[in-house]
Structure 1
């Protein structure tokens, strides 16, 4: 499985087509603050950010895919700029083993208590990293485990050293519990 994650584009759509083309057969996730009509980029799964005005976007989504239970949110409702605890509790409550979020504009990938937390950074207004980033996850299932390689890229497709890594997650099945 391959997932491409972007966030905090703040109206800029100029790089999305190149990202889709570069990574081909993948599932594309946008973690909020798109700030453009999502009908113009329908290939992404969206959640609403604090700057979005599109009423059809949900505040969060829980998606199951190939042993992953993905909690996707912008993060502002969980206070991610102050602490990750509320988002961590929500992930455990949902039985998620992967959390995709944005809001901070800081590329982050951390595993805690069996859950992988991923923020792709921002495609327009990066913070704590000198350039705009997005993330790609490649996962391989091996029985009850999923090995996930996370790579962060610059807008031109250049791999960003020092970000991402390889993580092993327990395969999850259904809301509320890990198998």
Structure 2
């Protein structure tokens, strides 16, 4: 999962080739057009800096039997808290919620939903901005969500690996 590359298409290409994820989620502010070839076989949403109205604001794909809610977050007040986004997650019956906008990485379980912000790959803010940008790899097991943050050079950050128990409703 990646977000907020703000026109830095090359980093998207590099990381997709290097990490070869099973599924790709872009949480907005790519500043690319919806028909960009990088978005082929990816889930992508529109951020507040994306002006192609063909990019959706929210997508709710079911991936390997797990309901995902993907949004940028700017319409949900994520700069302040996750209340509005949690209400949207409840309505979508989402197991996992992926969002961006703040440029700050975050991973937590709220109200039975896994919330993950990969941070900004190109313009990071906050405590971990010294890393130069992050994305997140999520591994799903029968009982856990494992969130591993990765730097622009594709290296895992050992201190930024988090494991969360999956709830019974998420195991469906």
TM over 0.5: yes
**2: distance between equivalents of 1:152 and 1:54?**
28
Higher mean C-alpha displacement, 10-19 vs 117-126: 10-19
CA offsets, 1:31-72, max 9 Å, x none?
Answer: 000101243312321101011011111110111122311000
Higher mean C-alpha displacement, 158-167 vs 114-123: 158-167
Partner of 1:95: 93
CA offsets, 1:78-130, max 9 Å, x none?
Answer: 01001111111111121111000000000110112211100000011100112
Matched, 1:6 2:2: yes
1:164 to 140, 150, 161: 161
Q: Which runs of 5+ in 1 are unaligned?
A: none
Structure with the largest fraction of helix: 2
CA contact (8 A) 2:19 2:154 kept: no
Quote the offset at 1:26 in angstroms.
Answer: 1.3
Secondary structure of the residue that 2:107 maps to in structure 1?
Answer: strand
CA contact (8 A) 1:136 1:150 kept: yes
Partner of 1:37: 33
TM-score, reference length from structure 1: 0.86
Matched, 1:147 2:144: yes
**2: distance between equivalents of 1:118 and 1:110?**
7
Secondary structure of the residue that 2:75 maps to in structure 1?
Answer: helix
Secondary structure of the residue that 1:79 maps to in structure 2?
Answer: coil
CA contact (8 A) 2:121 2:135 kept: yes
CA contact (8 A) 1:9 1:34 kept: yes
Structure 1 residues 25 and 162: alpha-carbon distance in aligned structure 2, compared to 1, 3 A threshold: closer
Partner of 2:133: 132
CA contact (8 A) 1:6 1:29 kept: yes
Partner of 2:84: 86
Structure 2 counterparts to residues 51-62 of structure 1, below 5 A: 51-62=49-60
Higher mean C-alpha displacement, 27-36 vs 11-20: 11-20
**2: distance between equivalents of 1:89 and 1:38?**
27
Q: Which runs of 5+ in 2 are unaligned?
A: none
**Length, aligned pairs only:** 167
